[in-house]
């Protein structure tokens, strides 16, 4: 339990801030991409560097809020909320104070570039609230990549949308302070309600949210993750339909060879992170996306449907790549939890030993990772190619997921490490890795826009870097202690 047990009064707020600060201080490295992207912009002009600095600073403040909100949500444990007097109120007050501070700073940063600090403060606050809501309801992670862009594309040009925009713009011009105050009060009220005050409902929601986060991060691989009951079993069969077929194939073709034994061992140790599970779920997701695209083309006006599909491609492409990179984020936790099974599997006849074990496992791990990476890039390219007016669309924007793919490709070599020292992984490690990849993706995308090159060039450069890293790390596998069982020297 990560919940802090604060004392009443200002000391309680200080305790909450102390836990939050311990996570925020690990984000010092955000200054590095800020400096890097500003230096990159100076190659174009001083004004471009000025604009880039403040836009990157505003985005960096969003990352700071994401880390702070995660720390605050982790302290909202149902037991602490019910047993510690004033704990929920102190969490809420601290969250609102940080929310207002970061929203105002983000608005001021964007004001230096585009003016209208009040409007940008509201935009920053709305984006921050969406993330806080996703922490409370993890299913929003899936919707936030797709629904906003599709809805905006469908609503754009409608009479109702134009009337709403006109009304809000006119109100902002006449009473900007009043509008901003009311909007921020409403956002603070919604943020206040995202923190629960204990009880049976809070405990049930806490458990369900944790299970859903595990399913989304590891496809059910870390602890089984799927909800209990018929719904959980139905979802598991639906998204993991390929695993039984692959396992039956392994049993029919079983041989006492290193690759055959290792392939069967992987099914037991990787659980939901196995490539057969990710391949199955990817096929279902691709089918659902293509079906949704067909429905839009049949039901909605062709021009508006085309805009909706083109608008959804950036979010869908990033969501696809991030979900297919799940093994990179979840493999540490899954292998640590199956370390006892690994100790038994090492006794199976034909299982490689010593350096041979490392080479076989490393080759198979990287091969599965590259296969899932290729599936993600292929799905992204297919959806872009099948989208209406793809050739005339903004290809850089539609294929922004390629920048994520370029960042993720060399990260597969991170799986070639000393697994004997792998301890119980923390969520902070995964969060920092995710933030780092998003920052690098942003740098790559911004460089593509400023220098006007295709998103495929970063992918090509990333492939060359990956080959170099593999050639460098492969000989080192012979000097490493055996990978399995994981965590024995932690």
What pLDDT is recorded for position 259?
86
More confident of the two residues 364 and 148: 364
Task: Using the Cα atoms of residue 344, residue 345, residue 348 and residue 350 in order, give the sign of their dihedral.
Answer: negative
27-35: long-range pairs with CB below 8 Å, 24+: 27/63, 27/64, 27/67, 27/435, 29/436, 30/60, 30/63, 30/64, 30/435, 30/439, 33/439, 33/440, 33/442, 33/443, 34/60
pLDDT band at residue 7, thresholds of 50, 70 and 90? very low
What pLDDT is recorded for position 1?
43
pLDDT band at residue 22, thresholds of 50, 70 and 90? confident
pLDDT band at residue 5, thresholds of 50, 70 and 90? very low
More confident of the two residues 128 and 229: 128
* CA atoms in the 13 A half-sphere facing the CB of 443: 20
pLDDT value at 224 more than 50: no
Intra-chain end-to-end CA distance of the chain, in Å: 21
pLDDT band at residue 122, thresholds of 50, 70 and 90? very high
pLDDT digits (tens, 9 = 90+) for 295-330: 777 776 666 666 667 667 777 777 777 767 777 777
pLDDT value at 150 more than 90: no
What pLDDT is recorded for position 153?
66
DSSP 147-191: HHHHHHHHHTT-HHHHHHHHHHHHHHHH-HHHHHHHHHHHHHHHH
Name the range with the highest mean pLDDT among 207-221, 234-248, 254-268, 462-476.
Answer: 462-476
Alpha-carbon distances, residue 477 vs 257, 361, 433 (angstroms): 20, 10, 23
Burial class for 472, CB neighbours closer than 10 Å (0-12, 13-18, 19+): exposed
DSSP letter for 108, please. H
pLDDT digits (tens, 9 = 90+) for 46-67: 777 788 788 888 888 888 898 8
As a whole number, the mean pLDDT across the chain is 79
pLDDT band at residue 190, thresholds of 50, 70 and 90? very high
pLDDT band at residue 232, thresholds of 50, 70 and 90? low
Evaluate the omega torsion of the peptide bond into residue 485 and state whether it is cis, within 30 degrees of 0: yes
Report the C-alpha gap between 283 and 379 in whole angstroms: 9
Of 462, 306, 298, which is closest to residue 384 (Cα–Cα)?
306
Q: Please report the beta strands in 178-319, taking only residues with DSSP state E, as ranges in sequence order.
A: none
Q: From the CB of residue 201, how many other CB atoms can be counted at a distance below 10 Å?
A: 11
Rounded percentage of the chain residues whose pLDDT exceeds 90: 11
Of 402, 240, 225, 224, which is closest to residue 320 (Cα–Cα)?
402
pLDDT digits (tens, 9 = 90+) for 429-448: 666 777 778 778 877 887 77
pLDDT value at 157 more than 70: no
More confident of the two residues 208 and 68: 68
Task: Using the Cα atoms of residue 57, residue 63, residue 66 and residue 67 in order, give the sign of their dihedral.
Answer: negative
Phi/psi-derived region of residue 454, left when phi > 0, alpha when psi is between -120 and 50, beta in every other case: beta
- Look up residue 460 and give its two tokens: 């090509």
Of 19, 22, 124, 113, which is closest to residue 63 (Cα–Cα)?
124
Report the C-alpha gap between 44 and 334 in whole angstroms: 46
Range 436-462 burial, b when 16+ CB lie within 10 A, else e:
bbbbbbbbbbbbbeeeeeebbebbeeb
Q: What is the mean pLDDT of residues 209-225?
A: 52
C-alpha 291 chain-centroid distance = 24
Report the C-alpha gap between 131 and 435 in whole angstroms: 14
pLDDT value at 6 more than 60: no
Widest Cα–Cα separation across the chain: 79
DSSP letter for 255, please. -
Report the C-alpha gap between 215 and 281 in whole angstroms: 12
What pLDDT is recorded for position 398?
63
Phi/psi-derived region of residue 5, left when phi > 0, alpha when psi is between -120 and 50, beta in every other case: beta
pLDDT value at 393 more than 60: no
Range in 20-24, 35-39, 341-345, 375-379 the model is least confident about: 35-39
Phi/psi-derived region of residue 255, left when phi > 0, alpha when psi is between -120 and 50, beta in every other case: beta
Could you identify the residue written with the tokens 């991030």? 322
What pLDDT is recorded for position 328?
78
Report the C-alpha gap between 246 and 275 in whole angstroms: 10
Q: Is 327 helix (H, G, I), strand (E, B) or coil?
A: helix
pLDDT band at residue 463, thresholds of 50, 70 and 90? very high
- Look up residue 137 and give its two tokens: 């309801």
pLDDT digits (tens, 9 = 90+) for 64-111: 898 888 888 888 888 887 878 888 888 899 999 999 999 999 999 998
pLDDT value at 356 more than 70: yes
Phi then psi for residue 394, to 5 deg, are: -80, 95
pLDDT band at residue 145, thresholds of 50, 70 and 90? low
Alpha-carbon distances, residue 220 vs 116, 211, 284, 392 (angstroms): 45, 8, 16, 40
Contacts of 436 (CB under 8 A, 6+ apart): 29
pLDDT band at residue 389, thresholds of 50, 70 and 90? low
User: Using only C-alpha atoms, what is the Rg of the chain?
Assistant: 24
Contacts of 237 (CB under 8 A, 6+ apart): none
What pLDDT is recorded for position 301?
67
What pLDDT is recorded for position 392?
43
What pLDDT is recorded for position 199?
78
């Amino acid at each position: 339990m990560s919940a802090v047990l604060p004392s009443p009064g200002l000391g309680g707020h200080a305790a909450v801030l102390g836990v939050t600060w311990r996570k925020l201080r690990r984000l010092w490295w955000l200054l590095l991409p800020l400096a890097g992207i500003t230096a990159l912009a100076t190659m174009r002009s001083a004004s471009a560097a000025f604009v880039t600095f403040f836009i990157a600073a505003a985005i960096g403040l969003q990352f700071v809020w994401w880390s702070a909100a995660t720390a605050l949500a982790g302290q909202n444990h149902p037991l602490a909320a019910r047993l510690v007097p004033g704990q929920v109120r102190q969490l809420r007050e601290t969250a609102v104070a940080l929310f207002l501070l970061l929203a105002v700073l983000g608005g001021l940063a964007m004001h230096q570039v585009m003016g209208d600090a009040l409007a940008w403060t509201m935009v920053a606050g709305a984006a921050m609230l969406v993330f806080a809501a996703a922490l409370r309801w993890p299913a929003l992670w899936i919707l936030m990549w797709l629904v906003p862009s599709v809805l905006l594309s469908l609503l754009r040009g409608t009479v109702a949308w134009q009337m709403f925009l006109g009304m809000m713009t006119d109100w902002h011009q006449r009473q900007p302070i009043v509008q901003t105050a009311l909007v921020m009060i409403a956002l603070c009220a919604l943020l206040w309600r995202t923190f629960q005050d204990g009880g049976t409902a809070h405990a049930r929601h806490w458990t369900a949210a944790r299970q859903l986060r595990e399913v989304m991060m590891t496809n059910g691989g870390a602890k089984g993750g799927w909800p209990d009951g018929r719904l959980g079993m139905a979802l598991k069969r639906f998204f993991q339909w390929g695993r039984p077929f692959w396992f039956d194939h392994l049993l029919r073709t079983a041989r006492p060879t290193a690759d055959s034994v290792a392939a069967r061992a992987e099914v037991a140790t990787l659980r939901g992170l196995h490539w057969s599970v990710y391949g199955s779920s990817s096929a279902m997701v691709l089918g659902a996306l293509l079906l949704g695209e067909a429905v839009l083309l049949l039901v909605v006006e062709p021009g508006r449907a085309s805009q909706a599909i083109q608008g959804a491609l950036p979010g869908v492409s990033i969501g696809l790549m991030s979900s297919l990179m799940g093994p990179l984020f979840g493999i540490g936790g899954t292998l640590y939890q199956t370390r006892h099974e690994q100790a038994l599997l090492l006794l199976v006849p034909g299982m490689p030993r010593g350096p041979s074990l490392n080479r076989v496992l490393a080759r198979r791990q990287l091969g599965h990772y590259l296969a899932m990476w290729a599936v993600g890039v292929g799905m992204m390219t297919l959806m872009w190619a099948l989208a209406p007016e793809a050739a005339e669309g903004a290809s850089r924007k539609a294929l922004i997921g390629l920048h994520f793919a370029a960042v993720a490709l060399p990260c597969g070599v991170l799986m070639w490490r000393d697994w004997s020292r792998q301890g119980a992984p923390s969520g902070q490690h995964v969060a920092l890795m995710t933030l780092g990849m998003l920052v690098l993706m942003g740098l790559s995308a911004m460089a593509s826009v400023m220098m006007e090159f295709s998103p495929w060039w970063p992918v090509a450069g990333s492939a060359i870097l990956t080959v170099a890293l593999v050639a460098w790390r492969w000989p080192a596998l012979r000097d490493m202690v055996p990978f399995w069982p994981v965590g024995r020297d932690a």
